[in-house]
Amino acid sequence: MKKRILVLGGNGFIGCHLVEELALRDVRLRVLARSKNQHVPPVKGVEYRYANFSDSIDVAEALVDVDIVVHLISTTVPATANLDPAADIKGNLLPTISLLQQMHELNVPRLVFISSGGTVYGDAKVSPIPENHIRNPLSSYGIVKVAIENYISMFSSQYGLKSLILRVSNPYGPRQGHIGIQGVIPTFFHRILSGEEIKIWGDGTVIRDYLYIDDLIGFITKSIEKNLVGIYNVGSGQGTALKDVLSIIENVTNIKAKVNYLPPRGYDVKNVVLDITNGRNALDWTPQISLHEGCIKYWQWVKRGSSGNRLPGLGTKHRFSFP
């Protein structure tokens, strides 16, 4: 029997890539999104529904006849969550608790939740960071992610929900939004191209783990195929300082950036590199795209000016829909 999958946030950066890839497989797909994606056309054969995540009635209707829910929705990013923690709770935590209750009532057995490998651990005591490291988030965004993880664990232990929590590092690639708010790599590229000043909080030595979108989609699709459960880090396993990311982008574009170094922000974790050993072993998965290669791919996409086109390698033979 074909797996029936609901992708919450299927028109977002990660979601649109994932939906295209899943549509090539022997599954039935439904998307729940806040609105249409103005830059990426709907995938043929996929059922699209449009509603706010906080609308419990629309969410419940979208859950009917579903086997797996992939939860990609986040109404905030780290910078905006700290500005209004109550809105972060209202927009993300409370609707997710409602989702879990509805899944239990409707007997939807499986959940894949995209958490944050960059914020849930806080300032880690070791690097790379394993999944069993204490979670000590410094931001509202990370605190809410941890709370959601805890509620998922509760529903798993009490009601038998088969859950997979993926603590994803910093994904990047074509179609990434939040330019200037979230997404260091696309923000740097676009500001260099436009001749705008790049703002860096701190001295540029903050280290992050960057993962190209194709590698992330490969992990998610494999995990769905293998019915993986548990908690896994998903990243490149490599750390790069912010100033070195900028150097790579300057090299790729052959453009010198205008940089303004600002005082560090209190919620910025200094060093986040994820230990991906468990995920690598569970799925026989290894990231294929280095940061330099990923930046070249992103630059090629930008130069094509093809924000509305599908990426090379993402298929168009979409065959499945709900009856």
- Is residue 251 in a domain? yes
- pLDDT, tens only, 227-253: 999 999 999 999 999 999 999 999 999
Q: What is the predicted pLDDT for the residue at 303?
A: 86
Can you tell me the mean pLDDT for 120-147? 95
Helix, strand or coil for residue 69?
strand
Q: What is the predicted pLDDT for the residue at 274?
A: 98
Which helix (DSSP H) or strand (DSSP E) does residue 58 occupy?
helix 56-62
DSSP secondary structure of 244-299: HHHHHHHHHHT-PPEEEEEPPPTT--SB--B--HHHHHHHT------HHHHHHHHH
Residue 57, exposed/middle/buried by CB under 10 A (0-12, 13-18, 19+)?
exposed
**Number of structural domains in the chain:** 1
Please name which of 276, 52, 313 lies closest in space to residue 173, comparing C-alpha atoms: 313
What confidence category does residue 305 fall into, taking pLDDT thresholds of 50, 70 and 90? confident
Can you tell me the mean pLDDT for 27-53? 94
- Is residue 316 in a domain? no
Can you tell me the mean pLDDT for 150-170? 98
- Its domain, for residue 290, covers 3-304
Q: What is the predicted pLDDT for the residue at 290?
A: 97
Beta-bridge mates of residue 260: 199
Q: What is the predicted pLDDT for the residue at 266?
A: 76
- What is d(CA 70, CA 165) in angstroms, rounded to the nearest whole number? 10
- Is residue 315 in a domain? no
- pLDDT, tens only, 116-130: 998 999 999 999 999
Which helix (DSSP H) or strand (DSSP E) does residue 64 occupy?
none
pTM for the model stands at 0.91
Percent of the chain with pLDDT over 90: 79
- Is residue 310 in a domain? no
- Is residue 321 in a domain? no
- Is residue 137 in a domain? yes
Strand 240-241 relative to strand 207-208, pairing: antiparallel
Which helix (DSSP H) or strand (DSSP E) does residue 160 occupy?
none
What is the number of other CB atoms lying within 10 angstroms of the CB of residue 250? Answer: 15
Using the predicted structure, report yes or no on whether residue 315 has a pLDDT greater than 80. Answer: no
- What is d(CA 17, CA 10) in angstroms, rounded to the nearest whole number? 8
- Is residue 312 in a domain? no
- What is d(CA 194, CA 196) in angstroms, rounded to the nearest whole number? 5
The encoded tokens of residue 214 equal 């194709």
Using the predicted structure, report yes or no on whether residue 84 has a pLDDT greater than 90. Answer: yes
Q: What is the CATH number of the domain that holds 51?
A: 3.40.50.720
Helix, strand or coil for residue 2?
coil
Residue whose token pair is 């899943």 = 22
Answer with the residue of higher pLDDT: 313 or 284. Answer: 284
Number of H helices and number of E strands within the chain?
11, 13
Average of per-residue pLDDT values in the chain: 90
- Is residue 272 in a domain? yes
